[in-house]
Amino acid sequence: MERTLQRDTMLFIEYEEILLGKRKSFSQVFFHYSKEQNEKNAIRVIRYAYEEFLCCDKYHMDNYLTKEVVRLMKLRALMKYIQCPPEIRIMSNLWYLKWKVYPETSRFTERQIIIHTYQKLLDGEIKKFPKDYFVGSSGMVRVIICLHYLISNYLQFHSIKEAYEVFSSYQIRQILREYKLLNPCSDNFPLPIDALHALLPVSQKDELYYHRCRFYQCYKRELRRSRDEEEIE
């Protein structure tokens, strides 16, 4: 406990020297740890700056949460240590910094941030998803969250069977293309119906109908492929 207090004291002293122009940057000793520890040290300094020099707490931090204040308080260099999801650029989304400094003020879950990003894409506020947004297991989770949001807010199905039928039809590719999810789905699932089946809770899955629709979709695809090959010959 005493060692941590001494480290924090030295960290704050160095920050004050940076603020006064007596030094240009922090000693390497404070930021050579893991990403998690480096972030903790950065957050300690940011919180210290806002509470001690700007007299802010979690209720008033919003009033000074601007790029200009971050620059004037010489906190910009610390932003690289703040770990963010790929859709968040910290200097353009300083509300996220507040959540890091005061986690109890967080209003959005990870799922809500993903949905927020997807809605911005649909509204034309951004042109595309972040790079590698749908790569790996976390990417697959993002596909499922976006697809669930699409179904819940833009598509209307009267039954689970109807959803299986649409997702095994040819028109689903047009729908997914229109709503910017064709490539994410194709990169993470063999067929759109597989993505639908993955997002459904166990209580709503219809295994028999899923396999039936999937079989017919694969069968029709093979028929089209055979016809195309015959036409070429």
How far apart (Å, rounded) are the C-alpha atoms in residues 84 and 96?
8
| Amino acid found at 163 | A
How far apart (Å, rounded) are the C-alpha atoms in residues 190 and 78?
42
How far apart (Å, rounded) are the C-alpha atoms in residues 200 and 122?
23
How far apart (Å, rounded) are the C-alpha atoms in residues 215 and 219?
6
How far apart (Å, rounded) are the C-alpha atoms in residues 30 and 53?
21
The per-residue pLDDT for 88 is 86
User: What tens-digit pLDDT sequence spans the chain (233 residues)?
Assistant: 556 677 788 999 999 999 999 999 998 888 888 899 999 999 999 999 999 999 999 889 988 999 999 999 999 999 999 998 888 888 888 888 998 999 888 777 889 889 989 998 999 988 999 999 999 999 999 999 999 999 999 998 999 999 999 999 989 999 999 999 999 999 999 999 999 999 999 999 999 999 999 998 888 877 777 666 655 55
Hey, what are 124's tokens? 């034309």
The per-residue pLDDT for 7 is 78
On whether the pTM is more than 0.95, the answer is no
3-state SS assignment for residue 161: helix
The per-residue pLDDT for 106 is 75
Q: Which residue has the tokens 């790929």?
A: 86
Look at residues 120, 229, 222, 139 and name the one whose alpha carbon lies nearest to residue 186: 139
How far apart (Å, rounded) are the C-alpha atoms in residues 45 and 18?
11
Please return the burial class of 170, using the count of CB atoms within 10 Å of its CB with bins 0-12, 13-18 and 19+. Answer: exposed
How far apart (Å, rounded) are the C-alpha atoms in residues 34 and 45?
17
3-state SS assignment for residue 215: helix
The per-residue pLDDT for 45 is 96
